Amino acid sequence: MQSTNPAQDYAFQTVRHVEAGIGASARLGELAARYAPGARSALLVTDAGVRKAGLFEPALRALREGGLKVQVFDGVQADPPDHVALFACTQAREVGAGLVIGFGGGSSMDVAKIVACLAHPDNRLELPQLYGVESVRIQRLPLLQVPTTAGTGSEVTRVAIVTTGATTKSGIVNAGLLADAVLLDAALTRGLPPAVTAATGIDAMVHAIEAYTSARRKNPLSDMLAREALRLLGGSLLRAVEQGEDLRAREDMLRGAMLAGMAFDNAPVAAVHALAYPLGGIHHLPHGLSNALVLPHVLRFNEPAAAELYAQLAGVLLPQAAPGAAGARQMIDHMAGLCASSGLPTRLRDCGVEPADLALLAREAMGQQRLLQNNPRPLDEADALAIYEAAF
């Protein structure tokens, strides 16, 4: 099966060090010593939920045993506002942090990336200068990432998303944000509540699907990663939701989410994310849920342009997938079924969205041209409105 042109030129980049294991967060001290040998203090960036779950205690002990003074910033909020990231930077500067650790979901890891840049002693940049794609050359503090959700893949991406103003999100895409090292410890995700497991897991699956069908920069390595990610995530999502203590399922999800992150960091995501962002910005729905709500409808919209690739993914997700158009339809139905069986709401009307909101959502989605340009089928404001109406 040939999913890309074999003669195609491509570039692929990812983090240089991944370490995984049950209980591996207790080895964070060794990674700190390796990547920030001269550092005396560190800022661990997290949120109140992760603190309450007691997840970073072993990591903290390991870091302190190595002689580091560790300050914990637990003020991250979901869809982090820019002022929260700036406040975390101030704390990092105050303690003279020589190392930044992102410990949590995508929100905490994204803030950690920004702190590592802005709190570098030689940094002369302000946050808005970072927005955009490779807008500046970034110098940053050593950065370690420890995900506690199996979702965003932020641990291996060069992307950080912050909420700017009341409803808009701004993205930083810069290779300087790639972490020095990533630590995967599935034990940290064991207590993730079913609804968060479902939403973040669907987010990761969307990363794999959109990377595999991306109109730009899709390549043999991102394809390989997206397929393996989808195999792991599709095979274990419901088990992770229903039996949260199942560490095998949790490991599959965590590895799958990371592989999907590596894929979409090189073959970027598209219309599902473009239409999901306004739901987060305006209605404050969790990122993964926003994706799940529009996913089946965007897949149906894309079907005429992406049928062959969807059929290939059906072969990854289903034991007996049909080839061609029938396989594409199976894949779309399977994803719609998975969203529903994971227990997530499936309609916008059940998530506080009113009919009168749809036009604004469609207008806002058009602001996400960075993502829409990757969609396998061109999508305009009228198409976006029709998709939101179908999802309503």
Ligand X SMILES: NC(=O)c1ccc[n+]([C@@H]2O[C@H](COP(=O)([O-])OP(=O)(O)OC[C@H]3O[C@@H](n4cnc5c(N)ncnc54)[C@H](O)[C@@H]3O)[C@@H](O)[C@H]2O)c1
* Residues within the interface to Fe ion (CB under 5 A): 203
Residues 294 to 353: which contact ligand X by CB under 6 A? none
Q: Whose CB is nearest to Fe ion?
A: 203
Site pattern 10..39 for ligand X (x: CB under 6 A)? ------------------------------
Among 151, 201, 268, 281, binds ligand X (CB under 6 A): 151
Name the residue nearer to ligand X (CB basis): 188 or 232.
188
Among 60, 117, 179, 188, binds ligand X (CB under 6 A): 188
Site pattern 75..94 for ligand X (x: CB under 6 A)? ---xx---------------
CB of 306 vs ligand X, minimal distance in Å: 21
Could you say which of Fe ion, ligand X, none residue 150 binds, taking C-beta under 5 to 8 angstroms by partner kind? none
Among 14, 25, 145, 189, binds ligand X (CB under 6 A): 189
Q: What is the CA radius of gyration of the chain?
A: 20
Site pattern 94..113 for ligand X (x: CB under 6 A)? ----------xxxxx-x---
Could you say which of ligand X, Fe ion, none residue 107 binds, taking C-beta under 5 to 8 angstroms by partner kind? ligand X
For 106, residues 6+ apart whose C-beta sits below 8 A from its C-beta are: 149, 151, 152, 154, 161, 287
Among 14, 25, 157, 290, binds ligand X (CB under 6 A): 157
Among 154, 214, 236, 266, binds ligand X (CB under 6 A): 154
Part in contact with ligand X (CB under 6 A); list of ranges 37-45, 157-165, 221-229, 365-373:
157-165
Half-sphere exposure for 342 (CA within 13 Å, toward CB): 34
66, with CB counted inside 10 A (0-12, 13-18, 19+), is middle
User: Is residue 152 within the footprint of ligand X (CB under 6 A)?
Assistant: yes
Could you say which of Fe ion, ligand X, none residue 191 binds, taking C-beta under 5 to 8 angstroms by partner kind? ligand X
The residues binding ligand X (CB under 6 A) are 47, 49-50, 53, 55, 78-79, 104-108, 110, 148-149, 151-154, 157, 159-161, 188-189, 191-192, 196, 200, 203, 287-288
